[in-house]
Chains A and B, each alone.
Chain A
């Protein structure tokens, strides 16, 4: 479909000042989350797209416009690229009021229309009535709204968001998520969100590009990357906990967590050692009051090792009895209370084989951190 055609293509390689080997693409109206641990090169990639950094070798192409070519002949500067960039620390101009901060990005608009346009973008970001305030008079959330209005006022071909929610409190963050989700539904341009918060990725983005040490490890739709990481290392970087080494036999049986599990899905992996990811949603807790769906499938006896409060949930870490392995998953507080779950208590769980993902054997020993 035309609307979803790839409009931003990026291929970057360099060795200094930090090594980069990154490839990504993003379509109109798509929000791509660029994620990875701190120092992995996310912001540098964003700066390359914005024209603030020139990778030694690379290609940046947007809407058939070449912003940087592989031959090193073409490099369009940041001023000419029409990129909207929202900075982590807002980067508002402190000597200008809110209206002037937005209007400065409207060099393509003439005369009185400039004020009208600036007010329009401020109203879209819920900042109407604050136009004469200076940045120092605004809260963190308000500053970020102005920064977003300024980025949108450029009427950009690409919107880049560099950890835009990291400097605001949780409550403001939730509000900004909602506002951004509403605004982005009307934006038909590629959007790239840099973040290392996987919750943020799942709430806001359509696709994901994971980079580590400046290298693209995997990219694709959120569902594909999260549920089917290509390696155990990727799974770990995505924040998955239940990663194990196991043995796959010729009968497509997996020996893991002290039990044998039949694998039904297709796999290109041969017999022998493999890495295994068990999705938290594939772990079924046996209830006290009545049988749970699927509890006959791959039952495990465990002992509660640790219970950590995570908002409305408990994060349970269970020792699988008869093994040295542990398994983690979340359970809501009321379910935990109803089933008398407590530290050192016994608990039966089942593993649904459809939630098991196989990966090539990792170097690390089991269980992976």
Chain B
């Protein structure tokens, strides 16, 4: 069986485990996302059919909760903190610069699959405001003109 075929077989097992429990859709979607890295259309179709729901219902849940992604995230996920402290310290300008530099809107992934740009709520590092993270690396007191230099470190 191909790798993808195996994943779909696992997805069907996940569905079978939760099919009859009340509110089973959420755990299925969470586990499916862990398995596939995101919830693309084909995966949502399998979930809808398996759970006896319509694709609309599944998609509605997928877009309601921030935890679900419709497309796989990039190798490096950039999160710019938009909490109050970071915001007043100029996080928006940093975010705009990142968006401009990567040529993608917030919430999307670059075509080469390297970077995903997200805006997040307060990450609790207000003393370092404005803050951004790239996967697990934290960058504090950043300015828009530092953005290119930081990202270039991650380019292959």
Is the A/B pair a real complex?
no
B-binding residues in A (CB < 8 A): none
Chain B positions within 8 Å of A, measured between CB atoms, are none
